[in-house]
């Protein structure tokens, strides 16, 4: 009895893999560039609309491939312009992604997992436990959905404009810049990406890095790694591996405390990878000229916001090419901490600045729709085993 092969998902393929798949089916590899342009630059997932491909190729693609696109299941807008999107995948699982305008660039905050296994004490996502990892296509797919929803594809459109149903042909000249049919260079996206949504990116390492390569492809979104920031609590083996990646995003370390005792209470992973180990790894991490590693520090009233905490943090980061992003807690039901006063936040920042550290205080965006840092959480229905363990741990 013959076994029917499952179609390949174009959204899960990097361009070299797509080139190989096309060649294996008797078609020329350069068509992969055109397909990437349609899917990522122009937002077209229906191969029948990819009109610069031959009818034969389109028929083959329709028979042997699919283009999975996450569904936009919900959308809320904050009074400050921030928008939160509920993204649903083929299995019904959901994540939240956030669009933050004027930061000063436009920023997409993207999730890498459904839930999170890190269980940080001040984060609602951690209370879900880990449901499952996202695939590379699901991570990159959030960018496709948000770019369409907030009309951020204009960077790829000719100044004269054209109807979305009838876009110009995409072509290329050798290995150089992708060009439009008139010879004009295609644009780059006008947005940044932060991997700071639901999940720990380095806990889903392979899919996260594959997604970044897909997003960086010059025939797709052409998203420079300089426009991407990856936030991690410090999974050291993966952090060491990241240091050798050809597509390397900006790095943000979720530190939140200057000592192992304090951090171990807030970030359980610290019991395995301590503060000194993380700082040592950061000192070894390759940094481009003038670039710094960001250290994120959620300020919790009476827990880690005292002057002595600031002085210990300054001593810890002495000699590290860094900047510190202070984040006053975004309080929410279920988080057992309070936001510090503005006076406490200012005092903490001044102490760090007096020690010649680069410091900023993050302005919370989207708090009224629970889209701010640490507030993303979805109802997953049936609990996975990891979620059941999280429920036992947190009550």
Q: For residue 345, give the H/E element and its range.
A: helix 342-354
Question: What pLDDT score was predicted for residue 147?
Answer: 96
Determine if the pTM surpasses 0.75: yes
As a whole number of angstroms, the distance between CA 63 and CA 77 comes to: 39
pLDDT digits (tens, 9 = 90+) for 174-215: 433 444 433 333 556 689 999 999 999 999 999 999 999 999
Active site residue 160: no
Q: For residue 260, give every residue at least 6 positions away whose Cβ sits within 8 Å of its Cβ, in sequence order, or none.
A: 270, 274, 275, 276
User: How far is the C-alpha of 245 from the C-alpha of 81, rounded, in Å?
Assistant: 35
Q: What is the dihedral of CA 298, 338, 121, 319, to 10 degrees?
A: 20
What is the H or E stretch that residue 391 is in? helix 385-394
Sign of CA dihedral 298, 304, 307, 310: negative
- Output the pLDDT for position 387: 40
The b/e string for 241-276 (b: 16+ C-beta within 10 A; e otherwise) is ebeeeebbbbbbbbbbbbbeebbbebbbbbeebbbe
Instruction: Tell me the per-residue pLDDT of 333-342, one tens digit each, with 9 for 90 and over.
Output: 888 999 999 9
Structure-token match 């003038």, residue found: 290
Cβ count within 10 A of residue 11: 22
pLDDT digits (tens, 9 = 90+) for 237-269: 999 999 999 999 999 999 999 999 999 999 999
Which letter does DSSP use for residue 157 in this model?
S
CA–CA gap between residue 384 and residue 36 (Å, rounded) = 35
Distance between CA atoms of 303 and 336, rounded to whole angstroms? 11
Predicted pLDDT at 313: 98
pLDDT for 6 equals 84
Catalytic-residue membership of 373: yes
Name the nearest CA neighbour of 329 among 368, 369, 299, 290.
Answer: 299
State residue 379's pLDDT score: 56
pLDDT at residue 372 above 50? no
Q: Are 208 and 137 in contact (CB under 8 A)?
A: no
Looking only at the bridges linking them, the beta strands covering 94-100 and 293-299 are unpaired
96, 138, 200, 296: the catalytic one is 96
156 has pLDDT over 60: no
Choice among 95-99, 285-289, 351-355 with the minimum mean pLDDT: 285-289
Report the pLDDT value the prediction gives residue 365, as an integer from 0 to 100. Answer: 58
222 burial (CB, 10 Å; 0-12 / 13-18 / 19+) is buried
pLDDT one-digit tens code per residue, 299-318: 999 999 999 999 999 999 99
């Amino acid at each position: 009895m013959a076994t029917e092969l499952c179609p390949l998902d174009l959204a899960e393929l990097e361009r070299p893999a797509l080139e190989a798949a096309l060649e294996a089916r008797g078609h020329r590899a350069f068509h992969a560039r055109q397909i990437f342009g349609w899917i990522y630059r122009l937002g077209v997932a229906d191969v029948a609309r990819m009109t610069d491909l031959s009818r034969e190729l389109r028929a083959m693609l329709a028979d042997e491939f699919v283009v999975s696109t996450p569904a936009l299941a919900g959308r809320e807008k904050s009074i400050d312009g921030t928008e939160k999107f509920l993204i649903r995948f083929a299995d019904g699982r959901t994540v939240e992604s956030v669009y933050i305008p004027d930061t000063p660039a436009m920023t997409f905050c993207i999730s890498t997992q459904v839930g999170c296994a890190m269980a940080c004490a001040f984060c609602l996502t951690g209370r879900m436990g880990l449901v499952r990892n996202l695939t590379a296509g699901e991570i990159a797919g959030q960018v496709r959905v948000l770019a369409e929803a907030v009309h951020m594809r204009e960077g790829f459109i000719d100044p004269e404009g054209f109807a979305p149903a009838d876009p110009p042909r995409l072509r290329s000249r050798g290995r150089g810049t992708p060009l439009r049919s008139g010879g004009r260079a295609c644009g780059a996206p006008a947005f940044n990406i932060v991997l700071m949504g639901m999940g720990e990116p380095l806990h889903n390492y392979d899919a996260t890095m594959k997604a970044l390569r897909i997003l960086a492809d010059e025939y797709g979104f052409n998203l420079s790694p300089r426009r991407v920031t990856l936030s991690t609590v410090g999974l050291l083996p993966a952090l060491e591996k990241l240091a050798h990646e050809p597509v390397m995003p900006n790095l943000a370390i979720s530190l939140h405390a200057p000592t192992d005792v304090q951090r171990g209470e807030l970030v359980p992973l610290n019991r395995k990878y301590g503060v000194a180990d993380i700082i040592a790894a950061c000192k070894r991490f390759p940094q481009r000229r003038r670039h710094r590693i960001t250290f994120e520090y959620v300020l919790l009233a009476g827990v880690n916001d005292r002057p002595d905490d600031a002085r210990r943090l300054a001593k810890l980061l002495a000699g590290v090419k860094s900047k510190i992003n202070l984040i006053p807690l975004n309080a929410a039901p279920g988080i057992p901490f309070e936001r510090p006063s503005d006076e406490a936040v200012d005092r903490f920042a001044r102490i760090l600045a007096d020690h010649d550290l680069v410091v900023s205080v993050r302005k919370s965006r989207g708090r009224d729709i629970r889209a701010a840092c640490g507030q993303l959480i979805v109802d997953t229905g049936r609990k996975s085993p990891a979620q059941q363990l999280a429920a036992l741990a947190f009550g």
